[in-house]
Amino acid sequence: MSSRLQTDVVIVGAGPCGLFQVFELGLLGLKAHIIDALDRPGGQCAELYPDKPIYDIPAIKIVSAEGLVNRLLDQITPFGAEMHLGQQVERVDVLDEDWFEIKTTKRTTIRARAVVVAGGVGSFQPRPLRVEGVEKHLQHQVFYGVQEPDAHHGKRLVVLGGGDSAIDWTNELATHAASLTLVHRSDKFRAAPASVEKMESLRKEGKVSLVIGNVTRLQTDRGLLTAAVVTHPDRSETALPMDQLLVFFGLSPRLGPIHDWGLEIMKNQINASTETSETNVPGIYAIGDIATYPGKKKLILSGFHEAALAAFAIKKRVEPDKKVFLQYTTTSPIMHQRLGVADSKS
């Protein structure tokens, strides 16, 4: 059965920027529903590297990706945003100049005054390892992300990739694994220099082995993976004994139905206003990594700023006859009431 709902704003994407958008809208008295293809909030942070440390959130010296998501979820609790997880937006129809109708793959229908696309790089999926039989072992011995680091401790690990995720998890797991072999197509890496330096230090200590080439075959015994076969640049092969294979080939951006919304898209990103975060379609806004404009920096911090701009623009759209005042959470009684701290004392 389908459900029909109504709200002020629909947010597409439950990553950090989408969650903070709920907060900024809530401060202005606007209600929101969130739709995300994943089965839990957090987006890329929760799905791919929940334990990865983040150092550039204001006033927080260090926080894990999962920790940041949990803090944001706690922060938006007063605003009661409804989440529709494990489903994608199939259609966004303009009903008139004031209303949109959003339909999802689970037959959820929501009428809203505005739509915010906060989908990170889109409906992303990890780039797969393309070797025969790999699908049979997904989430048992082959993983495209690390959800529970402890599950990989004491194992013979083979890690594939040369970007930040591959190098960061190599560094994180090397001291806990029975053995760890990093496989990359060359000795040049795309990761942060400091991370590569740490990995090289672990190599010198004998805790990491580096093999140049690509995994082209998997060996099995009685239904279990036993080795990954690497083909080297000279076409020779090496079989690497293993218990688990961790694949970090990056993400494949898939905007999916967003392509059909009439938005101006440049290289899988949506053009957005630097003043309001609005797209070329009135009432549809874009924030976070999916948004682009001159000088754009792909930082969570930037996405938070874009969420604030979008919230004020949406407030003006929803209540065009009212002046939108900038109020401060430190002193505003209205803000305190909305946050549920009206009776607190400083």
- Per-residue pLDDT tens digits for 309-322: 999 999 999 999 88
Dmax over CA atoms of the chain, in Å, equals 72
266 and 282 assigned to the same domain: yes
Q: Which of 205, 233, 249 is the last residue of a domain?
A: 249
Question: What is the total residue count of the chain?
Answer: 346
Structure-derived torsion over alpha carbons of residues 191, 194, 200, 205, reported in degrees to the nearest 10: -140
Question: What pLDDT score was predicted for residue 317?
Answer: 96
Cα separation, 47 vs 265, whole angstroms: 25
Question: What pLDDT score was predicted for residue 336?
Answer: 87
Cα separation, 288 vs 292, whole angstroms: 9
> In this predicted model, what pLDDT tens digit does every residue of 257-280 receive, in sequence order?
676 778 898 877 899 999 999 999
Question: What pLDDT score was predicted for residue 256?
Answer: 62
Q: What is the mean pLDDT of residues 146-156?
A: 93
Q: What is the mean pLDDT of residues 86-115?
A: 91
| Total domains, the chain | 2
> In this predicted model, what pLDDT tens digit does every residue of 7-19 receive, in sequence order?
999 999 999 999 9
Domain extent, residue 244, equals 128-249
Closest to 184 (Cα-Cα) out of 219, 152, 216, 159: 159
Q: Is residue 346 part of a domain?
A: no
Q: Is residue 78 part of a domain?
A: yes
Which of 49-58, 61-70, 245-254 is most confident?
Answer: 61-70
108 and 40 assigned to the same domain: yes
CB 288 within 8 A of CB 308: no
DSSP secondary structure letter of residue 60: B
Cα separation, 71 vs 258, whole angstroms: 29
Question: What pLDDT score was predicted for residue 48?
Answer: 64
CATH of the domain at 316: 3.50.50.60
Cα separation, 307 vs 286, whole angstroms: 9
10 and 118 assigned to the same domain: yes
* Percentage of the chain modeled with pLDDT above 70: 92
Q: What is the mean pLDDT of residues 174-203?
A: 96
155 and 225 assigned to the same domain: yes
**CA distance readout (Å), 182 to 134, 218, 228, 243, 305:** 18, 16, 12, 14, 38
Closest to 264 (Cα-Cα) out of 303, 240, 291: 291
Partnered with residue 285 across adjacent β-strands are: 116, 278
Closest to 135 (Cα-Cα) out of 215, 218, 214: 218
